[in-house]
Amino acid sequence: MTYQEQALVLSNQYGLGQTDISIKPIGSGHINTTLLLSSPNKHLVVQKLNTQVFPDSDALVSNARKIEKHLTKKAAKNAYDLDVIKHVATQDDSHLIRLNGETWRALEFIGGSYSEDVVKSTEKAKIAAGAFGQFAKALNDFEADSLKTVIPDFHNLSMRINALDKAVAADKVARVALCEDDIAFCQQQRHLLDEIDAIVPDLPIRACHNDTKINNMLFCKKSDQAKAVIDLDTCMPGYWMFDFGDMVRTFCSPEAEDSTDLDKVKVRENIFASIVEGYVEPLKKVLSDKEKQSFWLGAKVMTFMIGVRFLTDYLDGDNYFTIHREHHNLDRARNQFALYQDLLKKEQTLKAILFK
């Protein structure tokens, strides 16, 4: 079935009619297929969910809708200033559609907005981090345990390293010989597991976004201020150190995460400072001392771990992350390892900013 044929079926399900219907890809996500479905009078964001990554689509939607309702109540009390992304029900009041073996859902389209893949300024970094900080603060009184775990062990570094070990042993697409130095580097970072084990017992479980990339929040076209935090698919119980760490990972480099110009893959210290100002400051009253201590570890772990995941997927035959060129996942892995190494190089300076 072509996209246009799918568009007509989806349009009928969501009551958009059958006249002048268009559909086009939007966003830059690796996992789900995200499209803008349009009629003359209405726009919807429709997504074909990757059911290999998210086998329990019902749990994914249930989690997101619980958070939608909580944030909507907060907004009604002027305790949340951002737009809330919401699911749209079909004509028969369902939030999921099964179409030719594929699973689809629709979200309200937030107009007058734009996203960015690379942080261009300290101001944008502070605004985006502030949006994620406001999101975290608004969920401080949300019952984290009410969320289902849609991806088990999502931020479990031990499991990710074990998966890498298995992919190396299997070498099913004969790529180990192409990245032996990268594999050896990963093995040398196992000390991070001990650091995690030492602090996690003292951290409160939070309702976390778990994917705080710059392109998972929208800016307002008119004001350039924060408009919405989006992509709630990975919202699960977790630790704020990983949300902070993913911002460091995705905000601080001036290069895209698949750039092969590794000499330019560096931690911009001024951007790091903007993340601290935007995210950490608003949480001061609810942030435990141990949580703040954990943020530096979160920055290291998230940057290294996504590199491990890219490398594992490369060795496994590129089954998880969407690729657009040969060796794309290896390029991504090396990019993240370069950023991780620069974090270590600048540790003293960056920790002084975080713990000032």
pLDDT of residue 30: 67
Question: Binning pLDDT at 50, 70 and 90, where does residue 276 land?
Answer: very high
Question: Binning pLDDT at 50, 70 and 90, where does residue 356 land?
Answer: confident
pLDDT of residue 5: 82
**pLDDT tens digit sequence for 230-271:** 999 999 999 999 999 999 999 999 998 999 999 999 999 999
pLDDT of residue 31: 80
pLDDT of residue 219: 96
Q: Burial level of 3, CB count in 10 A (0-12/13-18/19+)? A: middle
The b-or-e profile of 325-353 (16+ CB within 10 A means b, else e) is eebbbbbbbbbbbbbbbbbeebeeebeeb
Q: Can you tell me the mean pLDDT for 110-121?
A: 91
CATH number, span 122-355: 3.90.1200.10
pLDDT of residue 72: 97
Structure tokens at 132: 């994620």
* pLDDT at position 1 over 90: no
If you write DSSP's letter for every residue of 83-106 in order, what string do you get? EE--EE--TTS-S-EEETTEEEEE
Q: Can you tell me the mean pLDDT for 105-109?
A: 95
Sorted by where each begins, the domain ranges of the chain are 3-55+86-109, 122-355
CATH number, span 3-55+86-109: 3.30.200.20
**pLDDT tens digit sequence for 321-331:** 889 999 999 99
Question: Binning pLDDT at 50, 70 and 90, where does residue 314 land?
Answer: very high
Q: What percent of the chain has pLDDT over 70?
A: 99
pTM: 0.92
